Structure 1
Amino acid sequence: MVSMIRKYYPVFINIYSIWMLYMLFFASFRDANTAIFQIKDIPFQTIDAYSLYVIKYDKLEFFTNIFGNVILFIPYGFLGILYPPLNRFFYLIITFFITINVIEFSQYYFRRGFADIDDVILNTTGVIFGFIIYKIILRTYYRKLNVIQYK
């Protein structure tokens, strides 16, 4: 399984990243948000608003926004496959944190949405989940490999 991940992940993550950039900057739903140009720098303000109001009226919007921002970034937790320094948690999180902040402020600057600290928090949570899943897969693989070698 690990060899399959190492083989196909580079192709997957490149195609996925192009799709993500398209969704973050050029997708048609971005045009609907052109009236909203602001920087939301208070942590959990958007999450609180969604949990208090949006979930009452539109549960799909709540789950799409909150869980989508986490789930869509899980694949980036596997970046250590391509860049070995990112196998270390600290380097992965710092690299991703800088990257997602550049993306958030670019959305604001190019008027494709707003910069929201909650998006950074949720996206980073997704990367952390991805990193944990990646490490579990590696540990499981190497444990099985050791068991097979010592039998």
Structure 2
Amino acid sequence: LSILFIISLTLFPIRLGYKFEGFEIFNIVPFKIILKMLFEYPLGQFIYNVIGNIVLFIPFGFFIYIKFEKNKTKTLLAVFIMTLGVEFIQGFIPYRFCDIDDIILNTFGGYIGIIIYNILFSKFNNKLKKIQTT
């Protein structure tokens, strides 16, 4: 479901009235678009793009981490490859952009998914240990 959600939002996005004009179709300069959006666009548009790119990949990172038996390297590689594929395809879709910043943000979102998994299951394991000792 996470993969379908990613594909639907990245290749067939929901328009919220924000216009992303003045961007190159392919951007390979890290943080260029993030900084441009921060200083030249409304805060809501910046949040929509930056936070949206991070949040979109949190579930994917969470579930792929489980699938790869808690291997961070394989998980981050899978998130990176998925993001790279999506960004490459977006470069050929009208009104979509291929941006290195999205790759960075999406991969960071996948990493947050790993962190969330570890936090949730460390708390679960601690509670389970308390139950077992009583």
What TM-score, normalized by structure 1, do the two folds share?
A: 0.76
What is residue 35 of structure 2 aligned with on the other side? Answer: 48
Q: Runs of 4 or more off by more than 6 Å in structure 1? A: none
Alignment identity in percent? 30
**What do you get for the CA RMSD once the two structures are aligned?**
2.2
What is residue 17 of structure 1 aligned with on the other side? Answer: 3
Alpha-carbon shift at residue 129 of structure 1 (Å): 1.1
More helix per residue: 1 or 2? 1
Structure 2 counterpart of 1:69, one-letter code? N
What is residue 44 of structure 2 aligned with on the other side? Answer: 60
Contact 1:77 1:134 in 2 (8 A): no
Aligned partners of 1:94 and 1:61: how far apart in 2? 29
Q: Deviations over 1:71-101 (max 9, x none)?
A: 22211121233x1x25211110011101110
Aligned partners of 2:61 and 2:114: how far apart in 1? 4
* Aligned residue among 121, 127, 130 for 1:138: 121
Q: Does 1:118 align with 2:101?
A: yes
Q: Deviations over 1:92-134 (max 9, x none)?
A: 0011101110110011124451110000111111111111011
Residue ranges of structure 2 left out of the alignment (5+ in a row): none
Residue ranges of structure 1 left out of the alignment (5+ in a row): 1-13
